[in-house]
């Protein structure tokens, strides 16, 4: 009996046959929750139909490496990349997987990415023309070299669905790098159009909020005074500078657009200061080489100025679930629309650390409003539970 050529690239038809020496492998299953026939691929399979899977896979397990999964044979159609992880249920186009191939090895991926990979909490869509025309790829994991996917120097617009992403002009996250928070970017600024060669989710990045126009804030960071030693240009919130390699390194900044909050600790804690549009050749006393997180804030609700200090201002912490459970976020100033920080209609409990706060069910002080003094509130009143849209210190 003649064996299809595609079978030569397959180690076995079941996980039990995985060669111990291979570090890169993906196992595809016919049914959700890893049920039904399982096919193990250790390098590539250009047509799963030749293997009897008939272009259908309902769940998969990526056990090593970075894999490109496509809806048509020979790596055509809609393609996505997946890093190591368990995917018990695939929906939409992914349910019609027809070809798969490894695009980065497990050892190379870990070395290139410093051990930081996607965890299902990050997703970015790349397009080869402005205004989201000409879809290229959807990425959910660190991708150190776009050339392997055939999209090198091709991205002209992006949509960040989840997480915060770093995109770089050279492979292996080198060259000129910028970070992008959740939102839609119909064009890429600063000469980066058709220039990106690698991308990765920033470890520890938080938030699933979507900003329709996220390119209204931009700040450039430098590791020496007078704008010497460029570090990064940020266009979305970065809760921890550590994974990007410039924690406690910022010595001067240029705010091109928007108003930014910089804090000495990760997750926007510690001593925080606000910077409006302008050039800051040196930072205020005691702030040089101390910043660990930064995010754009609402210019209409926070005092602008060159490094105005916000330490000692009222603070409230919102929790996603009752009894202070789930994701949480600190607020230290008037916030007329929680959509801007990805926490609209989410809060079920709060802790008022200082000051008296007014919480409202609609943006801009609209709807039902209640005031809260310092203390712990394990459950919000019914009219505000999972409905808080704006917050103001009194």
In degrees, rounded to 5, the angle at the alpha carbon of residue 319 between the alpha carbons of residues 313 and 322 is 135
β-strand pairing of 133-139 with 76-82: parallel
Distance of alpha carbon 339 from alpha carbon 355, whole angstroms: 23
Count of residues in the chain:
394
CATH label, 217-309, candidates 3.40.1350.10, 2.60.20.10, 3.40.50.1000, 3.30.67.10:
2.60.20.10
Q: Are 155 and 129 in contact (CB under 8 A)?
A: no
Query: pLDDT at position 290, please?
Result: 92
Q: Please state, in angstroms and rounded to a whole number, the distance separating the CA atoms of residues 260 and 276.
A: 6
Return the H-helix or E-strand segment holding 111: helix 106-113
CB 391 within 8 A of CB 333: no
- CATH for the stretch 1-104: 2.60.20.10
Residue 59, CA distances (Å) to 10, 23, 50, 75, 79 in order:
18, 20, 19, 19, 16
| Among candidate residues 71, 121, 119, 74, the one with its CA nearest the CA of residue 91 | 71
User: For the chain, how are helix, strand and coil distributed in percent, rounded to 5?
Assistant: 15, 45, 40
Q: 0.95 exceeded by the pTM?
A: no
Which range is most confident: 245-249, 273-277, 346-350?
Answer: 346-350
Q: What is the mean pLDDT of residues 329-337?
A: 85
- The domains of the chain are located at 1-104, 217-309, 315-393
Domains 1-104 and 315-393 share a fold: yes
323, 369, 272, 355 alpha-carbon torsion, rounded to 10°: -80
Mean pLDDT of 321-349: 86
| pLDDT (0 to 100) of residue 92 | 56
Q: How far apart are the first and last CA of the chain?
A: 81
pLDDT digits (tens, 9 = 90+) for 43-102: 788 888 777 776 577 788 887 777 888 888 888 777 777 777 777 777 654 567 888 888
pLDDT in tens, 213-255: 334 678 888 888 888 877 788 877 888 888 777 889 999 888 8
pLDDT, one tens digit per residue, over 349-390 is 998 888 888 899 998 888 888 888 777 788 898 889 999 999
CATH for the stretch 315-393: 2.60.20.10
């Amino acid at each position: 009996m003649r064996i299809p050529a595609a079978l030569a690239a397959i180690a076995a038809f079941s996980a039990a046959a995985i060669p111990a020496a291979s570090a890169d492998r993906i196992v595809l299953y016919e049914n959700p929750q890893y049920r039904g026939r399982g096919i193990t691929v250790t390098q590539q399979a250009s047509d799963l139909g030749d293997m009897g899977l008939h272009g259908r896979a309902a769940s998969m397990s990526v056990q090593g490496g970075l894999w490109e999964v496509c809806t048509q044979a020979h790596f055509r159609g809609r393609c996505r990349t997946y890093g190591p992880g368990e995917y018990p249920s695939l929906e939409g186009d992914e349910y019609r997987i027809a070809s798969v191939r490894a695009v980065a090895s497990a050892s190379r991926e870990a070395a290139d990415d410093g051990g930081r990979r996607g965890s299902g909490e990050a997703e970015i869509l790349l397009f080869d023309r402005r205004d989201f025309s000409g879809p290229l790829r959807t990425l959910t994991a660190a991708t150190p070299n776009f050339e392997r996917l055939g999209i090198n120097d091709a991205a002209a617009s992006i949509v960040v669905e989840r997480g915060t992403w770093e995109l770089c002009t050279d492979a292996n996250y080198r060259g000129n790098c910028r970070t992008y928070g959740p939102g839609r970017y119909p064009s890429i600024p600063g000469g980066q159009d058709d220039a990106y060669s690698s991308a990765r989710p920033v470890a520890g990045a938080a938030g699933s909020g979507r900003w329709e126009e996220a390119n209204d804030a931009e700040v450039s960071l430098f590791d020496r005074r007078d704008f010497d030693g460029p570090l990064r240009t940020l266009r979305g919130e970065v809760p921890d500078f550590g994974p990007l390699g410039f924690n406690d390194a910022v010595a001067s900044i240029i705010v091109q657009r928007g108003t930014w909050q910089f804090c000495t600790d990760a997750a926007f804690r510690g001593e925080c200061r606000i910077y409006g549009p302008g050039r800051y050749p040196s930072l205020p006393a005691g702030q040089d080489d101390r910043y660990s997180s930064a995010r754009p804030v609402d210019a209409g609700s926070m005092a602008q100025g060159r490094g105005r200090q916000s330490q000692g201002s009222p603070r409230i912490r919102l929790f996603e679930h009752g009894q202070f459970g789930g994701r949480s976020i600190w607020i230290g100033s008037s916030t007329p629309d929680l959509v801007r920080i990805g926490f609209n209609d989410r809060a079920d409990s709060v802790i008022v650390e200082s000051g008296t706060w007014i919480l409202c069910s609609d943006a801009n002080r609209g709807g039902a409003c209640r005031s809260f003094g310092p203390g712990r509130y394990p459950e919000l009143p019914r009219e505000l539970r999972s409905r808080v849209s704006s917050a103001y210190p009194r």
